[in-house]
Amino acid sequence: MGKATGFMEYERKESKELTPKKRSKNFNEFHISLTLEEQQVQAARCMDCGVPFCQYGQNMNGMTSGCPLNNLIPEWNDLLYRGNLKEAYERLKKTSNFPEFTSRVCPALCEKACTCDINTQPVSTKENEKTIIEYAYEHGYADAKPPKVRTGKTVAVIGSGPAGLAVADQLNFRGHLVTVFERNDRVGGLLRYGIPNMKLEKHIIDRKIKVMEEEGVVFRTGVNVGKDISSKELLKNFDAVVLACGASNPRDLPVEGRDAKGVYFAVDFLTSTTKSLLDFGLNEAGELKEGSYISAKDKDVIVIGGGDTGNDCVGTCIRHGCKSMVQLEMMPQPSQERLPSNPWPLWPLVKKTDYGQQESMDRFGEDPRVYTTTVKEFVKDKKGNLTAAILVSLERKFNEKTGRYDMVEVENSQRKVPCQLALIAAGFLGSEAYVTKDFGVECDARSNVATKPEHFLTSKEKVFVAGDMHTGQSLVVKAIRQGRDCAREVDEFLMGYTNL
């Protein structure tokens, strides 16, 4: 806890944001952090609640309540409040490998389960976490600490997203020799190419990777396991292999005209922008290099999907200089406030307006989101270029055969809207088949790699799985937890016991 009466004395204060007009002129992070002294006051708001739901991290009604990493939040809030940031960092690192990532991209499940959120505003745990980790880097607490003893055991980790990095970090800390294989040109996976710079600038990733390399982790980029190197070779040369390739098979929209030039998956669109930024930067006019990315400049854009990835596409298109923006959401508009069926400490199922939508509203004067709507057809010209989209409204109807409610098309609701760029942000279906087939591991009905419940060993000897490839698409913080738990099982497999 922080100050015993802090939650009554101090109001929640958050970091400032640059205005949508200013921040949309570049691809930089746009939050202006509070001073250390101001953040200590925010940490003082952590109350003596008795049962800290903020660190519970278990499922309630099918949703996670509190931090999936079980971060020792009241402890490091108290240490931050009292000015003992070195120990605060040490307590934070006991459960979290990458607070520099989660303090930027996590939706803060901890805050939604904060006891203060019942009658007032929750403790600003996410920004407290960022203060602790950035202070640790500034003062050398987060410098490399290579293991003093090596076990001689070797582990190959396939994929360098949050799950793969967590596995590598934990097993290297234990003293095993870890090599991470990444098919892209740079390390980071989803963190690198799935999350825009506005939320996570890539030098933050590079900083941590440098520390991990100094601690002994080996990274091999541009190596596509299953194509460039076989599973047989890895299983021959390593004592254990961990699959952490993510749920990288995007869900398509199989409608007429899908093959039109101008229809892309969101992940490909976002990747092209980030890669252009990393390869070439911005020119003097503050623009990306022409021809080096999928451009939304001067185009009518439709983003299909209302989640975080869809919002990231909206914000990126605004920075490109799109002509207009529409974001489609199949489901009805959420409530503005919690419903009685969605009480604290459950995750609040309420309407959220994120940075991309704010910027679109600032640019075009209205919310880009259109609810209970989807694309029925993509219209193309004689050259195959996308020119428009046929939209239809949807309504919720009970399906007697399945016993569930479906979203079905409303009759005579079709309308045609101009569109030269459509981005499909409808989620992911699971792991890519070429990897799972090469390793010969069993998959479930959702194409996720199958294991026994609460375990990570696959049907193939020596082969483990972690992250979205195991659970399906999820949050960065949950992928890190998967990586930590998987590393524990791998360590026990290699050593006969584990102290992770």
State pLDDT tens for residues 130-161.
999 999 999 999 999 999 999 999 999 999 99
Could you tell me the pTM of the whole model? 0.96
At 125, is the pLDDT very low, low, confident or very high (cuts 50, 70, 90)? very high
pLDDT digits (tens, 9 = 90+) for 213-250: 999 999 999 999 999 999 999 999 999 999 999 998 99
Residues of the chain with CATH 3.50.50.60: 154-249+429-495, 263-424
The token pair at 438 is 């090469």
At 491, is the pLDDT very low, low, confident or very high (cuts 50, 70, 90)? very high
3-class secondary structure per residue, 196-214: CCCCCCHHHHHHHHHHHHH
Contact 220, 168 (CB under 8 A): no
At 94, is the pLDDT very low, low, confident or very high (cuts 50, 70, 90)? very high
At 194 the pLDDT is 94
CATH class of 6-138: mainly alpha
Q: Is the pLDDT of residue 449 over 80?
A: yes
Q: Which of 81, 69, 184 is nearest to 480 (CA)?
A: 69
Average pLDDT, the chain: 96
Name the amino acid, one letter, at 321.
Answer: G
- CA-CA distances (angstroms) from residue 444 to 285, 428, 434, 448, 469? 50, 15, 15, 6, 11
Structurally, what CATH architecture does the domain formed by 154-249+429-495 represent? 3-Layer(bba) Sandwich (3.50)
At 430 the pLDDT is 86
Q: Which of 312, 308, 309 is nearest to 320 (CA)?
A: 312
Residues of the chain with CATH 1.10.1060.10: 6-138
Q: Is the pLDDT of residue 1 over 80?
A: no
At 473 the pLDDT is 93
At 61 the pLDDT is 87
At 214 the pLDDT is 98
Task: Enter the DSSP assignment of 498.
Answer: -
Structurally, what CATH architecture does the domain formed by 263-424 represent? 3-Layer(bba) Sandwich (3.50)
Q: Which residues pair with 220 in a beta bridge?
A: 181
d(CA 388, CA 421): 9
pLDDT digits (tens, 9 = 90+) for 332-388: 999 999 999 999 999 999 999 999 999 999 999 999 999 999 999 999 999 999 999
419 Cβ neighbours under 8 A, 6+ residues apart: 262, 300, 301, 302, 326, 378, 386, 387, 388, 389
Q: Looking at the chain, how many residues does it have?
A: 500
At 62, is the pLDDT very low, low, confident or very high (cuts 50, 70, 90)? confident
Contact 438, 228 (CB under 8 A): no
Name the amino acid, one letter, at 348.
Answer: P
